[in-house]
Chains A and B, each alone.
Chain A
Amino acid sequence: QAIFRPWRLPFVIDTLSKYGIRGLTNTTVKGVGVQGGSRERYAGTEFGPSNLVEKEKLDIIVSRSQVDAVVRLVAASAFTGEIGDGKIFVHPVAEVVRIRTAETGLDAEKMEGGMEDMMRRKR
C-alpha cells in the first residue's frame, strides 16, 4: 500500500505497468504525517500537524517474490526528496480470489502478461 504525492500518480502507474504490474487500485486520500515540527508544502501552502494534505493511495497485491522489486519501483518513481513524499506499507494478504473464475491463491494473483511472464521471457 503506497501513499504519495497526487501529481506523481501517472508516472508511478506508467512505471509499474512498464514492469508488468497490471493490477492496482487507486484511492484519493487526505492525511497527516509530519515529523518533528517540520512542515510539508503543497500547492504553495505549508501544512502543519493538524491540516490534512491530499495524497494518492495505491493498493498493489503481488506475490511474495515480487514485493521487494515493486516497493523499489514505487519508491523510485514517487521520490522527490522534499518533505511529504509519502510511505509504503507492506501487509501480508491472507487469500486472493478471482471472482470470474473462482481461482484462489497464486493463480488468482497472477496476471496474464504480467511481471512473472516478463521475467520468464527474459530468461
Chain B
Amino acid sequence: MALLATKTGSPNVTRRSIAARPCSAAPVRLARPGRKHVGIHAMAAATAEEAELRKQLTNLDRVTILSEALPYLQRFRGKTVVVKYGGAAMKDPTLKAGVITDLVLLSCVGIRCVLVHGGGPEINSWLAKVGIQAVFKNGLRVTDAATMEIVEMVLGGRVNKSLVSLIQQAGGKAVGLTGKDGQLLRARQMVELDIGYVGEVTKVDPTILNVLGNDSYIPVVATIATDTAGQALNINADTAAGEIAAALKAEKLVLMTDVPGVLRDKNDLSTKIQSLDIRQCRELIADGIIAGGMIPKIECCIRCLSQGVKASHIIDGRAKHSILMELLTDEGVGTMITG
C-alpha cells in the first residue's frame, strides 16, 4: 500500500536499511485511503475525503495498516506480475502518475513487475501528422509498411520512453524494450487476417526480462516483434502481455481496461463478477454475457491461464490505486480469473 512509502521515509528505518534502495527517499508520505476496508470512492469526492481521513489517522493507525498488509506482501514477494497498461489510464496524466507510483511501490517491496503497453491514440495522432490515413478493418488497424514505421517509432520510441522516464521520476528503475530487443518476442505474420504487418507470437524469450528483474529493474515492453526474416510486426498488446506472463511463469497478469471488470449486466455496476474460472468464462461467452470488446480480453486471459499463469485480473484503470487494490486486498476491485 501507499503506506509503505511512509515506512521507508520514517527516520527510524531509513538510515539503516534504505540507503541503497532505488525507491523514492521522499519524506513521510501521508497515508492514502487505499485501505482494505475502504471501497472505491468517486474521484470528485476523493480529495476532500482524503484530507479528512489524513487528519484522523494516528501513527498507530498507519503502522497497523502497514503490518496488516504484510501477509499479502509476503505472498507475492519475488513473484512476477505482468501489467498490461492501456485505455483511459494511459491518457489522463493523474491516472498515469498513480499507476506509475503503484508499480514503483510493488517493485520496492520485492514484487517483480513487467509493464506492457499499447498505444492506439498516439499512433493515430502521429499518422495524421505525417499525413497517412489510418485504416481499420473490423476494428483492427490495417498496418501497411508506412504505417508500420510510424507504429514502431511511436510505440518503441515515444510511448515507451515516456513511461520509462515517469518511472524513473517516481524513484524506480526502468528499462524500455520492444519485442525486438534480445529477441524477446518472435512472431509470424497473420496473413489470414489480411491486415498487413500484424503478427501472432510464436516464441517468447524471457531471458532479458529475467536479467533485468534480477537487478530490480522494471522492464517496460512495447509489443513490436520480428519474424524470422527480421520484418517488424505489430502485436496486440493484450495477447503479447499474456504470452510474456506465460513465458515468465508469472503469478499474475493484470489487464487494465476502461470497465470495472466482467459485468453480468452491462449497465449495472453492482453485478460485477468477483472471480471466474476457465470453465465459467467459456460458459459466459457461450451465453453471450461476455460480449464485444471483452471477448478478446477474456480469451487472452484463458490462453495465458492455460499455460500456467496462476491468475489474471481485469481491472478498471480509471479507479485509484486499482493495481494495489486488486493485488493487496482479498476482494479486489476487478474480476479475477483463475485456472
Spell out A's residues near B (CB within 8 Å): 5-8, 41-46, 79-82, 84-85
Contact = CB atoms under 8 A, between A and B. Distances in A.
B196 interface: no
A44 B243 contact: yes
A25 to B, nearest CB: 22
Which 4 A-B pairs rank lowest in CB-CB distance, beginning with the nearest? A44-B204, A44-B247, A7-B308, A44-B243
Given A46-B203, A79-B279, A81-B278, A41 B303 contact: yes
A81 B302 contact: yes
Contacts of A44: 201, 203-204, 206, 243-247, 307
B249 interface: yes
29 contacts: A5-B306, A7-B339, A41-B243, A41-B246, A41-B303, A42-B307, A43-B249, A43-B307, A44-B201, A44-B204, A44-B206, A44-B246, A44-B307, A45-B202, A45-B247, A46-B200, A46-B201, A46-B202, A46-B203, A80-B278, A80-B302, A80-B305, A80-B306, A81-B278, A81-B282, A81-B302, A82-B302, A82-B306, A84-B306
A82 B305 CA distance: 10
A6 B302 CA distance: 16
A85 B302 CA distance: 13
B247 A43 contact: yes
B204 A43 contact: yes
Interface string B189-228: 0000000000011111010000000000000000000000
Contacts of B339: 7-8, 80
Interface residues of B, number: 22
B303 A82 contact: yes
Contacts of B307: 41-44, 82
Q: Which of A42, A44, A84, A85 has the most chain B CB within a 10 Å cutoff?
A: A44
A6 B308 contact: yes
Contacts of B203: 44-46
Contacts of B201: 44, 46
B268 to A, nearest CB: 28
Nearest to B188: A46
A79 B281 CA distance: 13
A16 to B, nearest CB: 17
B172 to A, nearest CB: 25
Contacts of A81: 278-279, 282, 302, 306
Nearest to B308: A7
A84 B278 CA distance: 15
A46 to B, nearest CB: 5
A69 to B, nearest CB: 19
Contacts of B249: 43
Contacts of A7: 308, 339
Contacts of B245: 44
